[in-house]
Homo-oligomer: A and B are copies of this chain.
């Protein structure tokens, strides 16, 4: 356990370094043309973009420096060195490093969608090989109520690897689409990271303590550097985090979920992201017209954010579109205004949904509301994972 103590000290240092580096380096980003304007503010200040690359690099460097400590005792007796665990850590860092590169390239070059889907899949390949040689458990345990039909467990074989590859793609993109207001990307990542750390600490006394120690080795420095990033990204943002941050975060969560065998629990922590993804599907796949930005609309007079809207001309109202609008109306998930020629609905994002349910609010209150929702989902996840799990699985 003393290795965790060293890690905490290293992580505090990495927090301080990140906090120091961000204001020092941010002019370099503006000079390189990496900046944006905050669409929810009254001014046109240039705000540096892609600053997630700084916290990501410090996170990686901290993990590198920590390697000799992780294997401290094993380094003395080299015959017993756990090469498989070392390969696990290296594969994890390799996948994260790849996403850092891809994210930064995306921020600089504005890559096409196909690369965004293809490259995380490739980046997760070393991870899958490690999983194959170290575990290769491709079995899902079936919840008790369904066992009469499906048996105790089901081995999905190769499909399990497809599932893990898709998990990496999903996690990297899910954070990226629940974004757009100050502090939200970083805030949700902090809540998820903290949830995973709490879960690890609870499970440290269980028989999977090795897997959970591994998870802590990755999550603690991640959380520290992300907290430093938060300090500069909180409302009103002095820096933007960019796709870089979302990609690195998503991959970090996926890596930990896969290699520590609790990918289903990680998905429980991703509930708001999953809801947002499902809710956004009609616009993501352009079934319903999607404007360039689905951000909430900033009203300068009130200094409040309102849900942004999209217009569907009635002549373009295909059967499929009509069904979707009707279902969403019945579920009370959209705010619809109809006139003779067109239907106007809010853009389908969780952020806009909160705004139509709770009314216009200021940007920081909106972020806090969404993060509170994220925390509630974590509580729900723990409820499902612990008290309720006994209904579904033997404990």
Contacts and interface: CB of A to CB of B under 8 A. Distances in A.
Q: Of A32, A33, A68, which is in contact with the most chain B CB atoms at under 10 Å from its CB?
A: A32
Classify the interface of chain A: helix, strand, loop or mixed: helix
A152 to B, nearest CB: 24
A34 interface: yes
Report the copy number of this chain in the oligomer. 2
A91 B29 CA distance: 30
Interface in A253-300: none
A110 B86 CA distance: 34
Given A75-B133, A109-B32, A126 B83 contact: no
Interface in A125-159: 125-126, 129-130, 132-133, 136
A64 interface: yes
Contact of A110 (B28, B67, B83, B100): B28
Contacts of A129: 67-68, 71, 86
Contacts of A67: 125-126, 129
Contacts of A68: 129
A101 interface: yes
B64 A25 contact: no
B33 A105 contact: no
A317 interface: no
Nearest to A98: B97
A98 B104 CA distance: 13
Contacts of A109: 25, 28-29, 31-32
Given A87-B86, A94-B93, A64 B122 contact: yes
A76 to B, nearest CB: 11
Nearest to A111: B28
A84 B68 CA distance: 16
Contacts of A104: 101, 104-105, 108
Contacts of A125: 64-65, 67
Q: Of A65, A104, A129, which is in contact with the most chain B CB atoms at under 10 Å from its CB?
A: A129
B90 A94 contact: yes
Nearest 7 Cβ contacts at the A-B interface: A83-B83, A90-B90, A87-B87, A33-B33, A83-B84, A101-B101, A64-B125
Interface of A: 25, 28-29, 31-34, 53, 57, 60-61, 64-65, 67-68, 71, 74-75, 78, 81, 83-84, 86-87, 90-91, 93-94, 97-98, 100-101, 104-105, 108-111, 119, 122-123, 125-126, 129-130, 132-133, 136
22 contacts: A28-B109, A29-B109, A31-B110, A32-B33, A34-B108, A57-B101, A57-B105, A60-B98, A61-B119, A64-B122, A64-B123, A67-B126, A74-B133, A75-B133, A78-B136, A83-B87, A86-B87, A86-B129, A86-B130, A90-B90, A100-B101, A104-B104
